[in-house]
Amino acid sequence: MSLIALSGVDIVKDSNLILEGVDLSLDKGDFAYIVGRVGTGKTSLVKTLIGEFPVKKGDAKVAGFDLIKLKKRQIPYLRRKIGVVFQDFQLLQDRSAYDNLEFVLRSTGWKNKKEIRQRIDMALDSVGMLYKKNKLPYQLSGGEQQRVAIARAILNDPQIILADEPTGNLDSDTQQEIMQLFMEIHDKQKPAMMVVTHNLSLLQRYPGRIFKCEAGKCTEVENRQEIDFSVFMES
């Protein structure tokens, strides 16, 4: 069964139709990009998948949840199965890297202190940040903050990882480091992974399925050789 299965889904924000009739399916181990110009609905799609924007039309199932029937009280349980990484990191600025991750675990039901410590240390170690776990975000570089954000995303061993412009605020060398980290996580844990990006070089270096948002539609690019990415990509 697909971890993400959208069929004929309208993506709506504040009563405004953003994307119409979206068909998108990702299974365990799939890796896909969402591309398109600013304002074409990429982030709105991500917010729909995590239950932030409701689905009123179509068939939408994510990690076993029916988004059409999704209740507000179910949203935290849906999000336990999804790891989300943002362009601007969204770390709590007054808490250390460790405390940022602890906040997530406690808010998703973890209580045992020893298990929490072990889980956090394992996640931070997997992204190369174990020895900086007591640092505050402002004491870390952009790339290091994104590594902490990735550790936060994988804490609950998610079935799905959604990354919204995860390299957008990073220099080119750090972009490659972060993408390589994503690929390692994908290879080891086999989540369904979706990366929103404007960066053409990432698509060329780390191939995956491609969905293009354009003119109110989001469709899969079947033959990437026939697409002029410069038409809709922005650096």
Domain 1-81+159-235, what architecture? 3-Layer(aba) Sandwich (3.40)
- Give the start-to-end residue ranges of the domains of the chain: 1-81+159-235, 94-157
Q: What is the pTM of this model?
A: 0.89
Instruction: Give 44-92 as a DSSP string.
Output: HHHHHHTTSS---SSEEEETTEETTS--GGGHHHHHHTEEEEETT----
Q: What is the pLDDT along the chain (235 residues), one digit of tens a residue?
A: 789 999 999 999 988 999 999 999 999 999 999 998 888 999 999 999 999 999 989 999 999 999 999 999 999 889 889 999 988 888 999 999 999 999 998 887 788 999 999 999 999 999 999 999 999 999 999 999 999 999 999 998 999 999 999 888 888 888 888 999 999 999 999 999 999 998 888 888 888 999 999 999 999 998 665 555 554 444 4
pLDDT of residue 204: 85
pLDDT of residue 103: 93
